[in-house]
């Protein structure tokens, strides 16, 4: 059996590699071609071109590469049609992947097409599911409430587990590296330069109130190497000087040892839940962007722990509510045992259970779903 896979960014490369490993376990002799990063290449794919060419976000970044990306879409579709593969499996990156699928499906309506990671139509733009159904037959969902949205428009869909449940947790030594007096707080202002720039000043103001209540409090700020210098500049005046870490092992240790976290909105809430770390979620947008987001939203919370657990245990402060005066009391509430901390512990445990923790690894579940769909 030969399969054609397309991933466009590092998170997709991780999903694709786990899927490929699962397929090799369940279908020995399977062969792969397509587009992938270093992890997928390590599992046996020879990528048509460097996946990094597709890892661009935002209009300003995409526009200069528009014609190049259009050419890569055509080349990828042509390579798929010439490959003799039995199916096309696209992984996240819908702007690129679904355009490839549309060309392939137009030329070969009988060919099975599978997409890994359902679009968040439960949050906004529900019409995306119907448009996706025009070119995709089967979907691998990573959130347990997503399949009904896909099947409602004619695609088959399986929940295969979230990749966070397969991420390694800290070793005792990694955790012990952050032992010390006073509460330990994780500050997580995001991974993109824009969101870090908007959120870091607010987090610094929150830390002033934390220091007043807990003079011995410590702050760890895990970040990516690409934004580490910016983070150092923006946190230089914080009343509690953060320990900035970029090493993956140090990040694991900090997540495991922290008493509470103040984090930007995003999938980081699931990483915190995996470590049982109570959290406060904050996010600051341009006022016009926030207004547009609120108008388009179909949900009353953006925090995945709240959505998966069907609770509202994690407090979130978005847009105009993202102020130190509102955030600090919520964070301080989590630094001691109490009903709010207890409610989060229950919600986090339920979230991880529903995402597949302790069960069959997501890559293997995804592989079984692919083979069943074929």
Assess whether 202 and 74 both reside in one domain.
Answer: no
In a domain, 195, yes or no: yes
Q: What is the pLDDT of residue 122?
A: 80
pLDDT interval class at 291 (50, 70, 90) = low
Q: What is the pLDDT of residue 193?
A: 86
pLDDT at 171 over 60: yes
In a domain, 167, yes or no: no
In a domain, 332, yes or no: yes
pLDDT at 320 over 70: yes
Q: What is the pLDDT of residue 45?
A: 95
pLDDT interval class at 330 (50, 70, 90) = very high
Assess whether 252 and 344 both reside in one domain.
Answer: yes
Q: What is the pLDDT of residue 265?
A: 87
Average pLDDT (38-63) is 80
Average pLDDT (40-46) is 96
State the residue for tokens 């997503």.
Answer: 146
Average pLDDT (23-32) is 97
| Cα(305)–Cα(351) distance, integer angstroms | 6
In a domain, 235, yes or no: yes
pLDDT at 374 over 70: yes
Q: What is the pLDDT of residue 58?
A: 46
pLDDT (tens digit, 9 = 90+) per residue, 94-144? Answer: 999 999 999 999 999 999 999 999 998 887 788 899 999 999 999 999 999
Assess whether 203 and 154 both reside in one domain.
Answer: no
In a domain, 56, yes or no: yes
Assess whether 99 and 219 both reside in one domain.
Answer: no
Q: How many domains does the chain have?
A: 2
Average pLDDT (253-279) is 96
In a domain, 102, yes or no: yes
Q: What is the pLDDT of residue 290?
A: 62
| Cα(73)–Cα(280) distance, integer angstroms | 40
pLDDT interval class at 191 (50, 70, 90) = confident
Assess whether 321 and 362 both reside in one domain.
Answer: no
| Cα(307)–Cα(350) distance, integer angstroms | 11
Identify the residue with better confidence: 283 or 345. Answer: 345
Q: Mean pLDDT for the chain?
A: 93
Assess whether 253 and 150 both reside in one domain.
Answer: no
Assess whether 144 and 65 both reside in one domain.
Answer: yes
CA-based Rg of the chain, rounded to a whole angstrom?
22
In a domain, 198, yes or no: yes
Q: What is the pLDDT of residue 63?
A: 65
Assess whether 182 and 120 both reside in one domain.
Answer: no
Assess whether 68 and 155 both reside in one domain.
Answer: yes
Average pLDDT (140-151) is 96
Assess whether 267 and 336 both reside in one domain.
Answer: yes
Assess whether 111 and 215 both reside in one domain.
Answer: no
Q: Kindly report the backbone phi and psi dihedral angles of residue 185, in degrees, each rounded to the nearest multiple of 5, phi listed first.
A: -115, 135
| CB neighbour burial string for 236-260, b if at least 16 within 10 angstroms, e if fewer | eebebebebbeeeebbbbbbbbbbb
Q: Return the CATH number at 300.
A: 3.40.50.2000
In a domain, 166, yes or no: no
Assess whether 233 and 341 both reside in one domain.
Answer: yes
Q: What is the pLDDT of residue 26?
A: 98
Residues spanned by the domain of 218: 172-354
């Amino acid at each position: 059996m030969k399969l054609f896979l397309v991933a466009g960014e590092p998170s997709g490369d991780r999903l694709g590699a786990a899927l490929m490993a699962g397929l090799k376990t369940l279908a020995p002799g399977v062969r792969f071609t397509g587009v992938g990063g270093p992890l997928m290449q390590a599992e046996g794919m020879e990528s048509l071109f460097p996946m990094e060419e597709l890892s661009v976000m935002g209009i300003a970044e995409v526009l200069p590469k528009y014609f190049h990306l259009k050419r890569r879409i055509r080349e990828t579709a042509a390579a798929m049609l010439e490959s003799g593969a039995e199916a096309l499996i696209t992984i996240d990156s819908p702007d690129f992947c679904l355009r490839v699928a549309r060309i392939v499906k137009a030329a070969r309506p009988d060919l099975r097409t599978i997409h890994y990671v359902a679009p968040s139509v439960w949050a906004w733009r529900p019409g995306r599911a119907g448009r996706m159904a025009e070119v995709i037959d089967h979907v691998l969902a990573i959130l347990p409430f997503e399949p009904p949205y896909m099947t409602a428009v004619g695609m088959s869909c399986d929940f295969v587990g979230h990749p966070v449940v397969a991420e390694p947790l800290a070793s005792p030594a990694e955790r012990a590296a952050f032992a010390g007096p006073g509460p330990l707080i994780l500050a997580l202002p995001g991974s993109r330069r824009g969101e870090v720039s908007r959120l870091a000043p607010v987090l610094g103001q929150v830390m002033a109130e934390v220091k007043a209540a807990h003079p011995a409090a410590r702050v760890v700020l895990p970040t990516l190497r690409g934004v580490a210098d910016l983070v150092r500049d923006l946190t230089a005046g914080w009343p509690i000087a953060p320990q900035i870490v970029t090493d993956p092992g140090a990040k694991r240790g900090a997540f495991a040892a922290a008493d509470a976290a103040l984090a930007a909105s995003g999938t980081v809430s699931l990483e915190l839940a995996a470590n049982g770390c109570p959290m406060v979620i904050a996010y600051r947008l341009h006022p016009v962007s926030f207004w547009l987001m609120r108008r388009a939203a179909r949900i009353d919370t953006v925090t995945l722990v709240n959505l998966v657990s069907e609770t509202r245990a994690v407090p979130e402060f978005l847009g105009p509510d993202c102020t130190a005066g509102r955030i600090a009391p919520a964070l301080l509430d989590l630094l001691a045992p109490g009903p709010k901390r207890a409610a989060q512990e229950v919600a986090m445990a339920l979230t991880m259970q529903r995402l597949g923790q302790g069960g069959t690894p997501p890559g293997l579940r995804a592989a079984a779903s692919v083979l069943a769909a074929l």
